[in-house]
Structure 1
């Protein structure tokens, strides 16, 4: 039977791998070319003055920079130095920033090194460590020092410092061991297919490999290599299940020769040692390819330093390595498979090792054992820094004092987290996970592997069936991620290792799933931690297949689904003609089940607590997705009231759909535009069909997230044209790229941030890469032509940021003809609302993003498991910011829209209309209802409701008053 390795499926690692990132972005505006200096002290003084002139530091910072040079030289090598202050001088830093000074003639630094460029850093914390870690990756560029000195353009200099050499990939993912194949050609194709599945090459590479035979390297090893279709330098090794003297393995190399130098050296060194690899696991084979000899003394040690292996601890490690008569190499377990000399400071720093990652040490020579023991001890002790041990996943998950379980009381609301708006009353169906009983151990490992493979293949087929059924909906892309998780090689290898140790397929599989899920749940990033539910969902599917157990079947009658937690595949299987609402004991408002519930238009609450699982199947249950509560066994009076509301709502929905193309005009003749919020241009026809007056918010991130690199102009133009074509002349409001912090892009790496919602995101991130922003603006204008386009910038905090972004639009407008363009900002940051009067004269419109505005105003993370229910956009403080925005806009004849979830809240709509908001933008499904709601309003009455809401003290008071109204 073919092993899992021979199946050409895409494989991705679930665990998050730490990488070195740049927090301080190098830009041309921070460069001064052609500087001269008498000596290094003069150069240092100039750097300090430049930082002070740029408003980054006070004059006292120079003393800190000088003190830092006394401690040790800040020269990195290859003509670069990065002078910065000491921790004690951080009080002299006013704003984090960088200044780059070029000295074409060079300066002799106090350590004797010749320096051509100073990257002077003013950092309020430890941002400079990431700059240093990144710059070490460009030090090996041939002729870099000369190029730095002769650069005649600021952008050219920044490019030299920023564009690191392509990182070669050769790790356990690229290895294909024990393949059932008997010829070099077969192994070459399998190795090439693995590289394609890892997105290191494209189909052109496969075609090129097919067209050329492998080259015999001797000793049973072969090489196939091509540059066509190679996305990055990569090395794969495929070995046969039954090796012979003629065929022991085939290397598949992708990439141009100058970028593959390191990989070719690995092959040469590997062949020169001629060490057997038959029967070795992937980790051992990788060790041989990384230059670790079979007889090397090795050790694994976890790095505990808070800021990782930056300059100071790296220097301690190198000094310790140099004390021993041994050849010592260092490799990062979570890295790309390359091992570096432990005596090279820049190479060690360039590993980018971070706290919690594992270093693999190997040594040969007379003092190999002493060297490994000494280095292990030094790393454990912190390499000169104070370190604390890592907490286990279980420890990180412990809540100091758990909340007492809330008891269910008949006809009493139980507070939860509102996840999807709507109201439902139906019988409860509790999805209790079936008991999956299995043996922990098994003797026949081969049979267990066969059972595992079959269960995984069955799960793969089940998921693909669900994807076909959900095609075009929100569930399909999420389930596609599940397929990728299912194919993850780390999970499979961990399971195989457990089986080979004597566990059953069930026990080995669940051990691998549980370990990976716990690791994700322990992450500081809430969004990534919540994705552990997806992993467990995938794991349960395979485990159920292994146990021969089917999942519980819901009743034929209408019901409300109650579960501990729901995975996307659970939601995708729902029969929306029967299910009326969703309730989960756990989960947050950003979980996939909550996202899908909103997409399906199902009322849902999450985080209701374990007590909700005690409700009996068939018991009446109320789900209020507007207010975030459930009511078990509601009384007769409550049921009658809710049924009347539901009947009214059903009639209203039918009437609203019938009149969906009528304008949203109040009884006294005031018209409000109702647009649609879209996350994809493919949904534009549906929005128009539902009566939307245009697109009130197009989240353009989808284009950027769908590509491994920033999409080019032609790609973006095609996507935007789909929307304009479907709108038939209706306006399109496009939000420029809104990523960063909590929504990273693979090709735009950012550092880990303690609070990503207050970090590099939105327009502040886009302005660090004006080329990407300019391309997006150009694509929007090109696609629009003479059709109405509204461009708005996210996360603007003040006029300075708007002007910087507006300048890019003006530049493109001078080159691209577009007749109907407006440029505005999103009001998401309280400072922007407070300063609306300064922005209004220069913008064309405002769009209030109430989701972020609410969380920033109330200082409540809207995805927080306990507090998110209190993050209510009807809080008077939020309403006052909206009123300030409207008043400032109307004073200058500008229009104001609201595109957050508050715009579709039935209780909030009268208030927003009463605040004289000009446009509401909601999900497509809500457009007919929102328009109908506005048509039933009287503007004067709405203004009275708004005034009443503004006079109250809390969101609860506002909602109570509006309900009583």
Structure 2
């Protein structure tokens, strides 16, 4: 082991495949919030010391241990994810605090079966907790054995690291940026994260400007739009690999790009002048009446200068660390509650907080004698001006994230508790709210939000929708002139803030709020009862889930079963496919979470636009029309074979139903049936699980009768069926609103599917988003659907809707809807026939 004050080589503490932190399925570790490092998916049952040193911390629950190496580097070794929740069960710690250990000394043992079955993942972390003093450089990203060299740790003393990193030839490449809306925060964070996985120095060049790929602000400041051609340059030992990874990151659209779903125009519509009403843009729907409460930003006193730079820098560092720790806690909560929106927003904030462009600018001002508060404030303001000067609406909204960090760090510097004294139930008015403001206000029970500025695609808008808080943006500066505590009506759906509502109007809105809340409570109280129409037809209301924890939530919310378990969660963000046993455990956990109810498990649906690192597939011009779903299973039979083996070994097998995605012809179904029969014989299984087919391609709907002859059930995926029938990409910003599954053409295909299934007495379910739309419930029942698979939180609402309907009336009116000319006409007719409360 090479070890001096500057450099240290750490050996592998475990055997197994190596992953970069970005691939770890945990937001806090993946974002680097805990520090730099690497991960290993372990194949052995003992964790060994990666270096000589002293044990400085042993976790109470024996799942983690921290070693301080002789050069001062502090290395946290964390076995598995969420293993703290096991309370030490399955772990035995072999060392104690303050004990001296040698390289390769065993530190802890664990029971692989016991821990593996009960924790989220066995992926284990090696994290350098004092990353601000040292730099991590991976030696290998291949599988390692215990004791093999894993990574170098180099002291951060300025020149050593950068000289080594930039040594070697420079390589360049060009690519067209595929991200919707260009290089805004999320895709820029992806590029930054990719660059950080390599030692080489990399830069992005566009027009006559360039920025280092490790600076989120620098990347956003280039104002790169969708489909713009950019150049990437990399210099260093692994420059070629870095270049290919960065070109790929720039050319691959993010799977959950929220801006795709944002309204096409976020400019306020021109309304006729209306006394006592401000018009804005709806960022989150809802109607609420309450007193208006105006929030003001922190303002700083004048700065005389001549401060001690060392003292001010120390104060700023402490404030930054406090805010980092706050954000890490927010990330951990978001991850725990599977809140992907919140997670990605605050992971981007964490990246901004470590951005060299910001930190260097603040440090420079502090060196000139400025106070830490003013240095931080000015460095943020400069970057905000730069982003707003790009002319891009999306990037101007990202400046709001920077203002959020400005406020948070200033609060930490000024010693003021991060807390607004806002009365519960108020409607908050502000120039522009930040994501942190929103979380704080939501926790304080505010009723709604309105802003003078802001956009419907902002992070605040995404969070407000997730929290169910009505929110209006772009109301104009007149909002800030309103009197504190005046009663107002926030009609976000109508884009209106009513400043002088009559007593009668206020009473009506408040009554509507009370009724809505009472309705929700009543629905929840009856959510565990079966859903039957007024004439006694039973409709199963089941849940779409993607993990055992979501299944447990669905069960608690009254689900009659799982209508769709998406198994992709097991296959993504890793370097190798899950083996049969890992898959079996995951599927069994979902069955166990659902009591005695049945679970429909869809076989893997990746390919095309959803790529796996370990399953390289050719690039496709039209990915959604390419190698995906069951087609991938035919192209790579070993993946499907392992999945079917795992599914056939869950108990009891009668509660497990297998669903095949993207089927277009009967032969595909027959082939899988034969494969299942052969595996049952091989595994000595006498039972046979039910096998169903997803109807998400028009060809499958047109052949429903033939498929139903050999399938046990049919499940309609309205999301894909919509885009394939209407020839509109459902993620296209300009078309998303028109990809409506209540289009008469879609309804005809649903009717055809139900009629074909009835010939062979098979049942039909819907697992696409249309099942969660209460306006569509009577139409689907009328066309013959008897199972609705919805998001867990909507089970009570959809069951309540079913109980108000009469099947005969639904049948009569639904068939009339097939003759209408558009989705809008169908929605209007549904609202007339079966009005929503």
CA contact (8 A) 1:619 1:632 kept: no
CA offset at residue 725 of structure 1?
1.9
CA contact (8 A) 2:630 2:663 kept: yes
Question: Aligned equivalents of 1:480 and 1:238: distance in 2?
Answer: 24
CA offset at residue 675 of structure 1?
0.6
What is the CA deviation profile of residues 152-176 of structure 1, one whole-angstrom value per residue up to 9, with x for unaligned ones? xxxxxxxxxxxxxxxxxxxxxx9xx
- Give the one of 621, 627, 642 matched to 1:775: 642
Q: Does 1:686 align with 2:562?
A: no
Question: Aligned equivalents of 2:645 and 2:329: distance in 1?
Answer: 40
* CA shift in 2, pair 1:499/1:258, >3 Å: same
- Give the one of 632, 635, 638 matched to 2:497: 632
SS at match of 2:794: helix
Question: Aligned equivalents of 2:809 and 2:638: distance in 1?
Answer: 49
* CA shift in 2, pair 1:581/1:459, >3 Å: same
Question: Aligned equivalents of 2:592 and 2:135: distance in 1?
Answer: 54
What is the CA deviation profile of residues 567-600 of structure 1, one whole-angstrom value per residue up to 9, with x for unaligned ones? 76555445478345677886778979647845x5
- Give the one of 491, 497, 516 matched to 2:354: 491
* CA shift in 2, pair 1:403/1:705, >3 Å: closer
2:36 aligns with: none
2:692 aligns with: 824
Q: Which has the larger radius of gyration?
A: 1
Q: Does 1:941 align with 2:809?
A: yes
What is the CA deviation profile of residues 811-843 of structure 1, one whole-angstrom value per residue up to 9, with x for unaligned ones? 544444373622223333444334434433333
* CA shift in 2, pair 1:603/1:874, >3 Å: farther
1:658 aligns with: 525
CA offset at residue 238 of structure 1?
11
Q: Does 1:674 align with 2:579?
A: no
Question: Aligned equivalents of 2:624 and 2:381: distance in 1?
Answer: 30
Question: Aligned equivalents of 2:72 and 2:79: distance in 1?
Answer: 10
Question: Aligned equivalents of 2:127 and 2:331: distance in 1?
Answer: 33
SS at match of 2:601: strand
SS at match of 1:931: helix
Q: Does 1:541 align with 2:408?
A: yes
1:451 aligns with: 315
CA contact (8 A) 2:20 2:197 kept: no
What is the CA deviation profile of residues 373-393 of structure 1, one whole-angstrom value per residue up to 9, with x for unaligned ones? xxxxxx9xxxxxxxxxxxxxx
SS at match of 2:544: strand
Q: Does 1:716 align with 2:564?
A: no
Question: Aligned equivalents of 2:300 and 2:748: distance in 1?
Answer: 57
SS at match of 1:725: helix
Q: Does 1:337 align with 2:199?
A: yes
What is the CA deviation profile of residues 818-871 of structure 1, one whole-angstrom value per residue up to 9, with x for unaligned ones? 736222233334443344344333332222233333344445555555654444
Comparing 578-587 with 456-465, greater Cα deviation is found at 578-587
Question: Aligned equivalents of 2:278 and 2:775: distance in 1?
Answer: 19
CA contact (8 A) 2:424 2:445 kept: yes
Residues 416-815 of structure 1 mapped to structure 2, 5 A cutoff: 423-427=286-290, 434=297, 446-463=310-327, 466=330, 472-475=336-339, 491-502=354-365, 541-542=408-409, 544-546=411-413, 553=420, 555-559=422-426, 569=436, 572-573=439-440, 575=442, 578-580=445-447, 594=462, 597-598=465-466, 602=468, 610-611=474-475, 615=479, 620-621=488-489, 630-633=495-498, 646=513, 649-705=516-572, 709-739=576-606, 761-765=628-632, 767-799=634-666, 802=669, 809-815=676-682
CA offset at residue 531 of structure 1?
9.8
Question: Aligned equivalents of 1:855 and 1:709: distance in 2?
Answer: 31
* CA shift in 2, pair 1:668/1:772, >3 Å: same
Question: Aligned equivalents of 2:143 and 2:609: distance in 1?
Answer: 38
CA offset at residue 286 of structure 1?
4.6
Comparing 910-919 with 485-494, greater Cα deviation is found at 485-494
What is the CA deviation profile of residues 374-420 of structure 1, one whole-angstrom value per residue up to 9, with x for unaligned ones? xxxxx9xxxxxxxxxxxxxxxx99x9x98754246669998977978
CA offset at residue 699 of structure 1?
2.6
* CA shift in 2, pair 1:633/1:959, >3 Å: farther
Unmatched 5+ residue regions in structure 1? 15-173, 175-184, 216-223, 242-247, 271-276, 293-297, 309-331, 340-353, 363-378, 380-395
Residues 174-213 of structure 1 mapped to structure 2, 5 A cutoff: 186-187=68-69, 193=75
**Count of matched residue pairs:** 673
CA contact (8 A) 1:670 1:939 kept: yes
Q: Does 1:304 align with 2:174?
A: yes
2:57 aligns with: none
Unmatched 5+ residue regions in structure 2? 11-18, 24-49, 51-66, 82-90, 111-121, 179-193, 202-228, 238-242, 244-258
CA contact (8 A) 1:11 1:488 kept: no
What is the CA deviation profile of residues 934-961 of structure 1, one whole-angstrom value per residue up to 9, with x for unaligned ones? 1111111112331232222222222222
Q: Does 1:910 align with 2:789?
A: no
CA contact (8 A) 1:688 1:727 kept: yes
* CA shift in 2, pair 1:454/1:725, >3 Å: same
What is the CA deviation profile of residues 673-715 of structure 1, one whole-angstrom value per residue up to 9, with x for unaligned ones? 1112223212333323332211112233334457665333333
CA contact (8 A) 1:491 1:513 kept: no
* CA shift in 2, pair 1:946/1:654, >3 Å: same
CA offset at residue 757 of structure 1?
5.1
1:894 aligns with: 762
Question: Aligned equivalents of 1:748 and 1:190: distance in 2?
Answer: 41
Question: Aligned equivalents of 2:488 and 2:131: distance in 1?
Answer: 61
2:59 aligns with: none
Q: Does 1:285 align with 2:161?
A: yes
Residues 57-76 of structure 1 mapped to structure 2, 5 A cutoff: none
* CA shift in 2, pair 1:752/1:578, >3 Å: farther
CA offset at residue 716 of structure 1?
2.8
* CA shift in 2, pair 1:733/1:334, >3 Å: same
* CA shift in 2, pair 1:705/1:839, >3 Å: same
Q: Does 1:406 align with 2:273?
A: no
Q: Does 1:357 align with 2:215?
A: no
* CA shift in 2, pair 1:197/1:839, >3 Å: same
TM-score (norm 2): 0.63
Residues 73-152 of structure 1 mapped to structure 2, 5 A cutoff: none
CA contact (8 A) 2:165 2:236 kept: no
Question: Aligned equivalents of 2:653 and 2:359: distance in 1?
Answer: 60
Q: Does 1:853 align with 2:731?
A: no
- Give the one of 819, 824, 833 matched to 1:956: 824
SS at match of 1:693: coil
* CA shift in 2, pair 1:532/1:876, >3 Å: farther
* CA shift in 2, pair 1:448/1:307, >3 Å: same
* CA shift in 2, pair 1:360/1:533, >3 Å: same
Comparing 483-492 with 847-856, greater Cα deviation is found at 483-492
CA offset at residue 731 of structure 1?
0.8
Question: Aligned equivalents of 2:93 and 2:696: distance in 1?
Answer: 46
SS at match of 2:475: helix
SS at match of 1:698: strand
- Give the one of 747, 751, 766 matched to 1:879: 747
* CA shift in 2, pair 1:470/1:914, >3 Å: same
CA offset at residue 663 of structure 1?
2.0
Question: Aligned equivalents of 1:256 and 1:611: distance in 2?
Answer: 54
Question: Aligned equivalents of 2:768 and 2:269: distance in 1?
Answer: 32
* CA shift in 2, pair 1:539/1:856, >3 Å: farther
